[in-house]
Amino acid sequence: MNVSSDLSILSMIWNASIVVQLVMLLLLAVSFLSWYFIFRKWFTIRTARAKTEQFERDFWGGQDLNALYQSAVNHRHSTGSLERIFESGFREFAKLKQQKGADPAALVDGARRAMRATYQREMDNLESHLSFLASVGSVSPYVGLLGTVWGIMHSFRGLANMQQATLAAVAPGIAEALVATAIGLFAAIPAVVAYNRFAHDVDRIAVRFESFMEEFSNVLQRNAHSR
């Protein structure tokens, strides 16, 4: 037996027991899926941040609220999360403002509730698939360890049929089993790093959304009292 050739990565995967191979296949599939979500979430957060900054510049640049609202309605398919929050709040405010004798506080509260509902939907979209990355990061090492334990048990059961156990006989089986742990870590580490980074980015965007809703509520309150 040529130990060096048996310890190549492809050879160890090919010669592993069926259970260990299934564990490796599962971990590889999860790893590819997590990388897909990592790139997708990175693009989503980058786009959300850019559109948020653009709308904040437009809003605080002195543009008329009616013009901003009309622009948001006309370009609804390409607007960002913050612009949709603004649109829902201003639409509710304008609708309530048309009612005679409406209390100014009720106008602002209605707009705030509409913005809060839209805010929750936008945050659900930004946070989608983060729980998957968290699960991959926490579970993959244990799944890989399961494959390793099973492979080592299979290797030692094979030694029972040998009269003399040598390093050359036991090393390939143990190495095959350890590949499962390595693949588990390969799947877990990027998922953990990406989850922590994206969760931080989403939290910062959420703070910006909440700050805008409070500031916009103040603007609407002044408009409600001046009508």
Q: Which of 92, 74, 194, 187 is nearest to 136 (CA)?
A: 187
Residue pair 137/188 in contact by the 8 Å Cβ criterion: yes
Q: Which helix (H) or strand (E) holds 223?
A: helix 167-225
Predicted pLDDT at 194: 96
Query: Residue 129, by phi and psi: left (phi above 0), alpha (psi -120 to 50) or beta?
Result: left
User: Which pLDDT score, from 0 to 100, does residue 125 have?
Assistant: 93
Residues 6 or more apart whose CB falls under 8 angstroms from that of 53 comprise: none
* pLDDT recorded at residue 5: 44
What pLDDT score does 2 carry?
A: 44
Angle at 47 between CA 128 and CA 220, to 5 degrees: 90
Q: Tens digit of pLDDT for each residue in 62-81?
A: 778 888 889 888 887 888 99
**What gap in Å lies between CA 17 and CA 122, rounded to an integer?**
46
Neighbours of 118 (CB within 10 A): 21
pTM above 0.85, yes or no: no
What are the tens digits of pLDDT across the range 152-211? 877 777 666 666 656 566 666 677 778 888 889 999 999 999 999 999 999 999 999 999
Tokens linked to 31 = 């790893």
